[in-house]
Structure 1
């Protein structure tokens, strides 16, 4: 029943088209690379991820449409979730999980709220090839090679749905955006949080949220003055379950916190972003939180 519902929602998102029959076109691309080597320097837990988003729609005028399905995001993501050590994990510890995911999501404005609704499917296990790619990259970089891939989570397809409501506000020259997010399928949680941005802010852009860190990245470019802009954010989640922490292993912590900060530089043609995120422990027995680093480069032609 649950998987059939997600499949129906995903099919509706994929087949959705504007009611006025305008031709769709590519409106923008968004991407964000995250790795704990850019943060606390360790290769553990939420070790690495990459998100690539394609935005499609009939047009973009600098603000969200009032109807769903006008602007669609198609996101491909991959992530490495690892135990404390890639060679000698603790006992107990979380198991290795290499994931590939696809998300179809619509973004629109409803009653003054920025709204996103999406559905997708995540693949996990040796069949994704993520673990072997991890091993190959470590061999190329002369880094310690993972030896725990034989105990990774098995092959599975995990459907999921996600939704977010955010209310953008302005206080002087600071942008303030409280939000609430719900997710079910891969991870069952309800999250509340707050984002702030200031400096040479980019206006008229469509911002997307990274799953693991909560960092926001641009999917459709807007306009900004040259210079630096800054982002701050925090959120708290109540967690009921996680496919990446299955029954029979370590238990998921019922509460999660994230704190994040980022700085972006905007030039006439080139832009760069670096952000850091602190994640609280995700499972019982995790001795401490971790710090991840995220990067993004943009070039306009």
Structure 2
């Protein structure tokens, strides 16, 4: 099922940009988000750590998305490490160790009052990524437990995988706040359908291009404005996952649904900007004893 849905979604995305007239682009934005459970509940397991980064090219930013796809292009990179609960020996029913790099091209535009984000990614998995070695060295420096050879031997193997995503969201004024319902479809490494919302109260992030982190659901800033102040953000979503490379059907059974609850603060000063957020991730497979709390952070200084 995974190859069929991935190929179909990538084909749909490719047809969105068929046009002859070129657009002049320049480098207009950059964003990143660091996620780790040491910033949340301080327990090292499951969705333990990731780093997302986005580089954006397009015409001069006007505060709103263009009406055509591919005027704005976002090159997105994601590095992620997923741990089982036990570091010492594989446990029956637990998820396998997984490491992945993702490299993709995405575009952002408007249609019928909806903000659309679509794109395709190449996902590289397994020890060939170098992430298991990096994580092991980092744990050694910090005097933290390291996965045993038996755990690493059962990790998600080397591979190259196609993936695609479509998200549609709409900002709705709500008094002094903004409510943003959204829907998302993913195919490839994980095939899912998701529905949720984001709530923003405050000036930071308004009129900017924000990109959704795939692990936590937080939206991080890539094209930033001049408004200073603090914005409180919150959100929730629920997903139906039909297939996951990270949770093989031979060893794991997916939960009926996957839930995320999140809250955070964007702060914008004259030269500094920062974000800190928390996300509760519900169980992803049968036998996962509980959800987990992960933290997300970003700090930027403008010279």
TM-score normalized with structure 2 length: 0.93
Secondary structure of the structure 2 residue equivalent to 1:40: coil
Aligned length: 298
CA deviation digits over 1:35-76, x for unaligned, max 9?
Answer: 001001111000100001000112211110000000011101
Once residues 125 and 131 of structure 1 are traced to their aligned partners in structure 2, the CA distance between those partners, rounded to angstroms, is 8
Which digits, 9 at most, give the CA deviation of each residue in 1:254-296, with x for residues without a partner?
2011000001221100011100000100011000000000000
- Unmatched runs of 5 consecutive residues or more in structure 2: none
Three-state SS of the structure 2 residue aligned to 1:136 is helix
Matching of residues 99-178 of structure 1 within 5 Å? 99-147=100-148, 148-178=151-181
**SS in structure 2 at match of 1:63:** coil
In structure 2, the CA distance between the partners of 1:102 and 1:229, relative to structure 1 (3 Å rule), is same
Say whether 1:236 aligns with 2:243.
no
Within the alignment, does 1:23 sit opposite 2:21 as a pair? no
Aligned residue in 2 for 1:86: 87
- Is 1:219–2:249 an aligned residue pair? no
2:253 maps to what in 1? 251
Whole-angstrom CA distance in 2 between matches of 1:48 and 1:27: 28
Residues 268 and 278 from structure 1, CA distance in 2 versus in 1: closer, same or farther, beyond 3 angstroms? same
CA distance in 1, matches of 2:124, 2:12: 18
What do residues 153-184 of structure 1 show as CA deviations (whole Å, max 9, x unaligned)?
A: 11111211100010111111101100000111
Measured in 1, the distance between the counterparts of 2:39 and 2:280 equals 12
1:225-259, CA deviations, whole angstroms, 9 ceiling, x for partnerless residues?
2x321100000111111111112111111201100
Conserved? CA contact 1:17–1:70, under 8 Å: no
The yes-or-no answer on 1:207 pairing with 2:210 is: yes
Q: TM-score, normalised on structure 1?
A: 0.93
Residue 172 of structure 2 contacts residue 178 of structure 2 at CA under 8 Å; is this kept in 1?
yes
Aligned residue number for residue 272 of structure 1: 274
Change (3 A) 1:231 1:253: same
Q: Is the 8 A contact 1:161 1:184 kept in 2?
A: yes
CA–CA separation in structure 1 for the residues paired with 2:214 and 2:23: 31
Query: Which shows bigger deviation, 1-10 or 237-246?
Result: 1-10
* Residue segments in structure 1 that go unaligned for 5+ positions in a row: none
Question: 1:292 aligns to what?
Answer: 294
Q: CA deviation at 1:4?
A: 5.7
CA RMSD of aligned residues (A): 1.9
